[in-house]
Chains A and B, each alone.
Chain A
């Protein structure tokens, strides 16, 4: 008979035959069961993709005449997930062994249950790493002999069904290669399930048989395994061949509804309308200016810097600017600074070397630097006298303009401490008049968290009126 007349010919790559599997291996039956299931479902083969990892069973992907990826060891599940995300129309199946899916790819196996995407995972459990000569793997039975456990496996085996159930797979079943009709049934049900499906298929490996003096695992599966309509907690258990093996579907449930991706955005909209501040843009006449705002984390140093640069952009849209923030790993309490460079030319070096305007909300950075305040001789220092030790300013040149304001104290007494940066900003605006008042107010509205605009503006006005 010509091979093209074979009922599976449409889904097989003839040029890849004969396959690489050992005689006595039953992985081929699982491949055939998969083809039966696809044909039974009437899927368009162009819309079926198979992704596999590395190992004996992973070679199935190469023998199927479908879109297939033979990926790296253990990474079949994430690769398949990528395919599914790029084209949700596809029926994507992962073929892999126990070492591939449960060993090196264990983390991906767990995560898929959580992600809940519609992938079918077929895990062919042959109790070890066969392709490399049969080393022990995650499912090797206790006491079993392998190349790397010649005295018997001292490690307890992992139960794939228990893990899949715990990980949240919506379809979980166990079958064997010796029960092909049951296997096809399981595959069909897995394909119909809309969530992540997991089938553990027990499959004999002759390397394992030989080393453990088992005559035929195929026969043992037929002898010990029973297909059950309903399964109980006790049926999950299976880690020795001397015991009964329960086959069947452990779970076949609906995937729960999940929030749509744009959820986070919708909540924000409820926060209400932002107050409008109108401002006029003009040529600022700034040629090159370095501004530094420094303090401790949690004082709104980065936010204050953002307000400053947004305000500068409002005032003169042609102005070039950069903003760089520096802070340690801790979010609150560590030293923190924001560097802003405003320039009529493109800004090259984005750090402030000698600030023309220094806004100090704490003395922490200066103290870390050895107590020296760095500022341009003809520059300006605006200092929060409620938080900074004023003696730090003693060494400054007489030409430096110094303005003091108890910004944090004012914020604490009138509003909340978090708006101290805007009290400061109001005071800076009044004393330095670098940037127009309304430009700053518009910037505050833009960057303030929804619902807090009014308080931030009031803080700014308070600072401005001082």
Chain B
């Protein structure tokens, strides 16, 4: 942490990728061990670069694994052994990690997985942004699993949400995915690094080496003993219990930002990540014109703020979902909006809409 003579937090110029590592250091303090296991991939490589230098100072461990599958498995193990366990990757790596994410959810390992999204599918555009992994983040494993996904839109928020991800993963003993995109990952902004309390280990969790002598398995297992027990009854109990962790606490987990008056708006622009910066810039440009437009920015992409969406649903109200994919989060709004309309504003990746393009779309609707 850089401080000037007065002891105030001095602002430092860092990228979103750097901010992930700073967020981890905040969460660890000097109390917790961080284990970072990753595999190089554009545009997330800088996270590993910084982690390899910074974590050693914080008593953490950085290891470059042989592939993404190994990375996620290593942190699943490290999470069970009491570390702040984290990996960072981009879309192709995320696809390889799918099985591991499901495994981590099943064994209730508190891990953090950062996905710096690129233009996709496949190798796509490694150095250009995209938001096409939103549905993968929700459904990209076999079976049902509880999912928490956070989407920052600035360097500072990346730091804070990394910290938040550590907290949520401990609280719910579940993987938390942090979805950056290439713009947020590579953009530099001056931020002051806050002093935050270290995140303690969940007292209810069993840590390897602490004498619990517990067994964790990816097989369907008994809730009490965690030993394999393969029958429909335990499956029902187990999966419901896992899902309920997030379902029943959705209100506590969900965060969003609004700009303008949602209750008066005729058009609500729904957005997240770097795209939301464009939306906000556009709304600021028309703030004097009394157009009934407001912004709803999802900070928690999953679980979906279902109650909020249903509350906002109104006849003649249009939800314009602006995102850099073919309408992945739009699908989620279409599920819940019964009275109003849902429209999409989409690009396939590489860039975000300009504020001008957003305004054009709004004007078309009003």
Contact = CB atoms under 8 A, between A and B. Distances in A.
A68 B218 contact: no
Contacts of B266: none
B25 to A, nearest CB: 15
Nearest to B12: A313
A393 B196 CA distance: 52
Contact of A348 (B69, B77, B216, B280): B280
B225 interface: yes
A329 B128 CA distance: 10
A310 B215 contact: no
Contacts of A49: 81, 208-209
Given A79-B76, A90-B208, A348-B281, A69 B70 contact: no
B304 interface: no
Interface string A32-73: 000000000000011101010000000001100111111110
B63 interface: yes
B194 interface: no
B227 A16 contact: yes
Contact of A85 (B13, B61, B126, B356): B61
B210 to A, nearest CB: 7
Contacts of A86: 33, 35, 61, 77-79, 81-83, 85, 208
A413 interface: no
B92 interface: no
Contacts of A47: 209
B294 to A, nearest CB: 15
Interface in A9-42: 13, 15-16
Contacts of B71: 78
State which size class the interface on A falls in. Answer: 35 or more
Given A81-B77, A85-B35, A86-B82, A325 B63 contact: no
Contacts of A82: 35, 37, 73-79, 81, 85
Q: Tell me if B's interface is mostly helix, strand, loop or mixed.
A: mixed
Given A47-B209, A265-B53, A328-B127, A69 B77 contact: yes
Contact of A67 (B53, B183, B187, B209): B209
B13 A310 contact: yes
Contacts of A353: 354, 356
A111 B73 CA distance: 14
Interface stretch (B99-107, B164-172, B310-318, B326-334): B99-107
Contact of A62 (B107, B211, B228): B228
A264 interface: yes
Contacts of A261: 52, 56, 61-62
A70 B69 contact: no
9 contacts: A75-B103, A82-B76, A82-B78, A309-B13, A313-B190, A323-B188, A324-B183, A329-B127, A349-B354
Contact of B209 (A46, A115, A349): A46
Interface in A102-140: 107-108, 110-111, 115
Given A71-B76, A75-B73, 14 more contacts: A49-B209, A67-B213, A69-B76, A78-B66, A78-B70, A81-B70, A85-B74, A111-B66, A115-B63, A265-B53, A323-B13, A324-B188, A327-B127, A350-B187
Contacts of A16: 227
Contacts of B80: 69, 83
Interface in A307-322: 309-310, 313, 317, 320-322
On chain B, which size bracket covers the interface? 35 or more
B341 interface: no
A422 B187 CA distance: 22
- Name the residue among B11, B66, B73, B187 with the largest chain A CB count within 10 angstroms: B73
A62 B355 contact: no
A45 B70 contact: no
B67 interface: yes
B227 A324 contact: no
Contacts of A394: none
A457 interface: no
A2 interface: no
Contacts of A287: none
Contacts of B11: 313, 317
Nearest to A114: B66
A165 to B, nearest CB: 19
Contacts of B63: 81, 85, 115
Contacts of A51: 77
Given A65-B213, A70-B217, A70-B219, A111 B65 contact: yes
B31 interface: no
B278 interface: yes
A451 B71 CA distance: 37
Contacts of A325: 186
Contacts of A79: 73-74, 76-77
B189 interface: yes
A324 B228 CA distance: 51
Interface in A276-335: 306, 309-310, 313, 317, 320-325, 327-329
Interface in A334-375: 347-351, 353
A245 to B, nearest CB: 31
B37, B65, B82, most chain A CB atoms within 10 A: B65
B261 to A, nearest CB: 19
A306 B14 CA distance: 10
A466 interface: no
Nearest to B128: A326
